Amino acid sequence: MTKSQPGWELYRTFLAVMREGSLSGAARALNLTQPTVGRHVDALEEALGLALFTRSQTGLNATEGALALVPHAEAMASAAEALQRAASGEAEEDRGTIRVTASEIVGTEVLPPILAAFREAHPRIAIELLLSNRAEDLLRREADIAIRMVRPTQSALVARKIGTIHLGLHAHPRYVEAHGKPATLEEIEAHPIIGFDREPSLRRLEGLGFTPSRELFAFRCDSDVAQYAALRAGFGLGICQNALARRDGLLPILPGTIGFKLEVWVVMHEDLKTSRRARLMFDHLAEHLAAHIASEGH
């Protein structure tokens, strides 16, 4: 006899348990009761013929089978969210929901006034903003529109290059007044430098003009937002966009010697070309991001 396929609600509960680490945490995240979550897990295990969790004094431990299911459940969750967004507004209406993804620093320091202006022009469109420094997969519809700092390679995407942003080493005037301004690369090492903590994040600084290492940094954090906050607080020297530095009155350190460039692209799936709300957001982002880049003033 053929077993019936488990419904999405069972996989959704399983994914919540994996994310939260417990039945009670999943229950809170899904607004369900803990017994209901437990029944969903039991039903999924029975339908799949697979043990997903072992129970110990420390809580639930995921089995190898459960870990293998996670990427597939994540893909189902992304598809379900995309389906809900697609159904939230008709294609030729300026209403519904649009999901935008961007890096932490762009999402917190650049996009807020841009999205506020979009809201004023299109009050019937709800905006979801996903902040991540990894490239969200538009082909799997983890987001509708992405702002990326590298050229997209997938053929099923519509991409528009907006321009190039320049990043350099900066310091707050208050710090420079108290500690001076380094005039050479050698003098930089005498100052506290704001940077990353883990090796994958450190690789984002390739092309600076010197080889960054974890030991070089006096302030280590893998959040761009926290780094920029430390820079504005006068902790020491740090890398940031020239446009943001100009806006916030930060002083350049060894301009032309330390720095690198990033291309800015606005990207969406080609299937969204017929969606009015997606086209409106795509064009709005392109226009206002170009203005932000132009504010670098170089």
Are 281 and 237 in a shared domain?
Answer: no
Are 216 and 72 in a shared domain?
Answer: no
Extract the tokens encoding 153.
Answer: 């390679």
For the cut 90, the answer to whether the pLDDT of residue 29 exceeds it is: no
Are 134 and 171 in a shared domain?
Answer: no
Q: How far is it, in rounded angstroms, from Cα 254 to Cα 13? A: 53
**Residue 172 identity (one-letter amino acid):** H
Are 69 and 120 in a shared domain?
Answer: no
CA-based nearest residue to 105, from 162, 137, 147, 139: 147
Residue 16 belongs to a domain with what CATH number?
1.10.10.10
How far CA 27 is from CA of 18, 40, 77, in Å, comes to 12, 11, 17
pLDDT over 90, % of the chain: 36
Distance of CA 180 to the CA centre of its chain: 35
For the cut 90, the answer to whether the pLDDT of residue 213 exceeds it is: no
Are 21 and 152 in a shared domain?
Answer: no
In a domain, 266, yes or no: yes
Region at 254 (left for phi over 0; alpha for psi -120 to 50; beta for the rest): left
> Which pLDDT value is given to residue 201?
57
Q: Which of 26, 60, 85 is the last residue of a domain?
A: 85
Dihedral angle computed from the Cα positions of residues 244, 250, 251 and 255, in that order, rounded to the nearest 10 degrees: -20
Total of domains in the chain? 3
In a domain, 1, yes or no: no
Mean pLDDT computed over 19-27: 86
Are 169 and 232 in a shared domain?
Answer: yes
Q: What is the CA radius of gyration of the chain?
A: 23
What is the CA angle 195-198-200, rounded to 5? 105
Q: How much is the pTM? A: 0.66
Q: How far is it, in rounded angstroms, from Cα 157 to Cα 141? A: 11
For the cut 60, the answer to whether the pLDDT of residue 140 exceeds it is: no
Are 155 and 268 in a shared domain?
Answer: yes
CB 290 within 8 A of CB 162: yes
Mean pLDDT computed over 66-79: 83
In a domain, 298, yes or no: no
User: What contacts 66, CB < 8 A, 6 or more positions away?
Assistant: 14, 18, 52, 53
Q: Tell me the per-residue pLDDT of 251-270, one tens digit each, with 9 for 90 and over.
A: 999 988 888 888 999 998 88
pLDDT over 70, % of the chain: 84
> Which pLDDT value is given to residue 65?
86
For the cut 50, the answer to whether the pLDDT of residue 239 exceeds it is: yes
Mean pLDDT computed over 151-177: 89
Per-position DSSP letters for the chain, written without gaps between them? -PPPPPPHHHHHHHHHHHHHSSHHHHHHHHT--HHHHHHHHHHHHHHHT---EEEETTEEEE-HHHHHHHHHHHHHHHHHHHHHHHHTS-TTSS-EEEEEEE-HHIIIIIHHHHHHHHHHH-TTEEEEEEE-SS---TTTTS-SEEEESS----TTEEEEEEEEEEEEEEE-HHHHHHH----SHHHHTTS-BEE-SSHHHHGGGTTSSS---GGG-SEE-S-HHHHHHHHHTT-SBEEEEHHHHHHHTPEEESTTTSEEEEEEEEEEEGGGGG-HHHHHHHHHHHHHHHHHHHTT--
Are 103 and 171 in a shared domain?
Answer: no
Per-residue buried b or exposed e for 146-181, using 16+ beta carbons within 10 Å of the residue's own CB: bbbbeebeeeebbbeebbebbbbbbbbeebbeeeeb
Average pLDDT in the chain = 84
In a domain, 3, yes or no: no
Measured in residues, the chain has a length of: 298
Are 101 and 71 in a shared domain?
Answer: no
Confidence of residue 30 (pLDDT cuts 50, 70, 90): confident
* Least confident stretch, 143-147, 172-176, 251-255, 285-289: 143-147
For the cut 70, the answer to whether the pLDDT of residue 95 exceeds it is: yes
Residue 193 belongs to a domain with what CATH number?
3.40.190.10
In a domain, 15, yes or no: yes
**Residue 69 identity (one-letter amino acid):** L
Are 198 and 233 in a shared domain?
Answer: yes
Q: Which of 85, 101, 128 is the last residue of a domain?
A: 85
Range of the domain at 52: 8-85
For the cut 60, the answer to whether the pLDDT of residue 298 exceeds it is: no
> Which pLDDT value is given to residue 1?
40
Confidence of residue 92 (pLDDT cuts 50, 70, 90): low
Are 186 and 64 in a shared domain?
Answer: no
Distance of CA 178 to the CA centre of its chain: 35
Are 254 and 267 in a shared domain?
Answer: no
Confidence of residue 208 (pLDDT cuts 50, 70, 90): low
Q: Tell me the per-residue pLDDT of 96-124, one tens digit each, with 9 for 90 and over.
A: 889 999 999 999 999 999 999 999 999 99
Which residues lie across from 145 on neighbouring strands?
100, 268
